[in-house]
Amino acid sequence: MSLSAPTCIGASVSRIDGPAKVTGAAKYAAEYVAPDLAHGYVVTSRIAKGRIRRIDVSRARRVAGVIDVLTHDNRPQMAAQDDAYRDDVAPEGAPFRPLYNNRILFSGQPIALVLAEDPEAARFAATLLGVDYDEEPHVTDFLGQRDAAVAAPKGAFGPPPARGSVEAALEAAPVRHDADYYVPAETHNPMELYATTAIWDADGRLTVYDKTQGVQNAHTYLCGVFGLKPEDLRVMSPYMGGGFGSGLRPQYQVVLAVLAAKALRRPARVVLTRAQMFELGYRPAMIQRISLGADADGTLRAIAHDAVTMTSRYEDFYRQETGWSGLLYACANASYAHRLARLDLPTPCDMRAPSAASGVYALECAMDELAVALNMDPIALRLKNYSERDQHSGDPYSSKNLRACYEQGAEAFGWAGRAPEPRAMRDGEELIGWGMATGVWEALQMSIGVRIVLSANGHAEVSCATSDIGTGTYTIMAQVAADMLGLPLQDISIRLGDSTLPRSPVEGGSWIAASVANGIAATADAIRADVLRLAQGLPHAPLAGAGPDDVELAEGCVVSRADPSRRTPIADALRHARLERIEREHLTEFAAPKLAHNTHSAVFAEVRIDEDLGLIRVTRVLSAVAAGRILNAKTARSQIMGGVVWGVGMALHEETLIDPAFGRIMNANIADYHVPVNADIHNIEVIFVDEPDAEINRLGVKGLGEIGIVGVAAAIANAVYHATGTRVRDLPITLDKLRR
């Protein structure tokens, strides 16, 4: 019998990096100092397409404190091949090359870097550059390019294969729903600006402090761009003030900072402005056509989901936008199509729950509209078509407790008290609406390396190159290590965000928690075997004859699981072997899944709408989530709450507006680009539904970062319809759309 059950995994442990953050001890990319540091300010293009004819830098160079101005004409050497600029998550195409040549691909493209002794001088000098262009006609109107869109290339993110006969099933269905749904482009606005500090050493080596979600991805990228030897470059990002997908790929400021350091042979820093952040990547706008056919009892007979999304001219960025429709509900006939509108804009990138946040919005609004047509409760319609198998592959789920999400969420929300007719619920001058939607995401896991150093003094250091983008990775790593090594949490230290540490994928897709937790467990197994071997070398060893699976590490000892009285202190075992520490590094790989792996949720929303003014308040959101084993109840709840807040923004606030005449973003600041503020957010409740999963991995862990936003916008949109009887299918839902 085990000595003790794990005490850290699952507990509501406060973030171990919290004190460093609130006291200012945690350093971010723009906070590292070095002697003789040069400051760079980026000058960007005023046109959307064409070529630079001439850049006059003479006035800028005369400003006191200006060191140099780098352009495509005088920058240090960079690679000439596209492959050198292709990072781990790059889409197909020719990646953007900052300051490479005189070609302009989008408005806001970096065209020069002013370097000065202080940031103020650099910023002022940047205003003095004279730039002449040969402008070419550009196209940035996404809606106007809908008919010109081309089929997305077949590949990992291509639409799933169709099944059955959709057209015939739709024609024969007694109840049909067909509608278009629109999601605008949305821009990442993490709190921390993108920044890089590149430290040039006398021997030519570089240490780069970068805001990134993948230090090793950035390391490989920079080595390719500049022809650096891997050992001559170190990339670090121990803290990150939000990424949400915008930092999966290396952003252009890291190239400019290294260019500056190489050109000047001294440290250099580049920090982007908030307006420049708007040109780094965005959730692509999407037009979706959903067609549903059902029997009178609600049984789905056909699903057709077509999508058009935007991408750049130079890369084909897309995700599997339409496949979620065929995944969630049992339906014998389903078809999918995905087309790309190529525009003179920067390439989009992943934003929290890429494809699912947009695709599930359309699906779940369409399901709500079908429920209205059937005069059927929205939950009943979903339960009628509940599937125990992945509809694409036919594989059963390793675990799926979505049914309990519906049940527990509805009970806690009070769904039984909902009057089904629109405009039937009110409080004085406010109309009240209740809506719900389903959420789904992939439960992914990636190969990952972990190093554990266990010292004779009872301290363990756990290292991995992964990032903590604010999700609590430091903390969950420490919790898992504490339980696996049998040590108090305070005796665990975590190192991450350093390219020299054991291998890690980029931090995204909700795969890091599951991957690194199981990586720690596997590495701890090797540590436990080593400790046992050393303990068995002691005279009269109490654990003689025991195998690694017969013992556990607990209370600073290696202990027999069957007889806890048989134990040896770890310190005694190491001292007898004359060792100060044991070190193990292990690469954990995950077998190709034989079962479907997904997380699920049921989201319930209440809105109150002023009947005269059309002002919308989201007064309650409840999210019931089935996501396997929860590693930390506190940080997990925080993740879901953050996703809900973002879902409110997606439903009611966020929209990146592009002027087609200039190809320029018109609201490139967080005053005009609306996001929820404290006054917009009211009660949020999170329920974690128990979902044991012995198949997905040894710890039964699934990711949580993405699922929190999926379904939220749809639940709010459905609540708005229930309150008003007006169906708004294009986001964000603003009062003018309610009044039209």
Res 1: pLDDT: 39
Segment 326-358, tens digit of pLDDT = 889 999 999 999 999 999 999 999 999 999 999
Backbone dihedral region for residue 610 (phi beyond 0: left; psi -120 to 50: alpha; all else: beta): beta
Q: Beta-carbon neighbour count of residue 591 at 10 Å?
A: 7
Contact (Cβ atoms closer than 8 angstroms) between residue 400 and residue 598 = yes
Question: 667, 511 in Cβ contact below 8 A?
Answer: no
- C-alpha torsion sign, points 390, 394, 399, 401: positive
pLDDT at 326: 84
- What is the average per-residue pLDDT within 218-244? 97
> Which pLDDT value is given to residue 499?
98
* Residue 712 φ/ψ, nearest 5 degrees: -65, -50
- Given a contact cutoff of 8 angstroms between Cβ atoms, the answer to whether 696 and 398 are in contact is yes
pLDDT digits (tens, 9 = 90+) for 663-679: 999 999 999 999 999 99
Cα-flanking dihedrals φ and ψ of residue 240, to 5°?
Answer: -145, 130
Task: Look at residue 4 and tell me whether its pLDDT is greater than 60.
Answer: no
Mean local confidence (pLDDT), 511-534: 98
pLDDT value at residue 154:
85
Three-state secondary-structure class, residue 286: strand
pLDDT tens, 627-671? 999 999 999 999 999 999 999 999 999 999 999 999 999 999 999
Cα separation of 243 and 101, whole Å? Answer: 29
In sign, the C-alpha dihedral spanning 341, 342, 343, 346 is positive
Mean pLDDT of 439-443: 97
| pTM of the full structure | 0.97
Which 3 state secondary structure label does DSSP give 417? Answer: helix
Structure confidence at residue 416 (pLDDT): 98
Q: Locate 417 and state its tokens.
A: 């008290």
Active site residue 706: yes
The predicted structure's pLDDT at residue 204:
85
Mean of pLDDT values over 22-39: 97
Token pair recorded at residue 550:
């017969």
Of 264, 272, 280, the closest CA to residue 126 belongs to 272
Q: State yes or no: pLDDT of 6 exceeds 70.
A: no
| pLDDT per position as a tens digit, 458-467 | 999 999 999 9
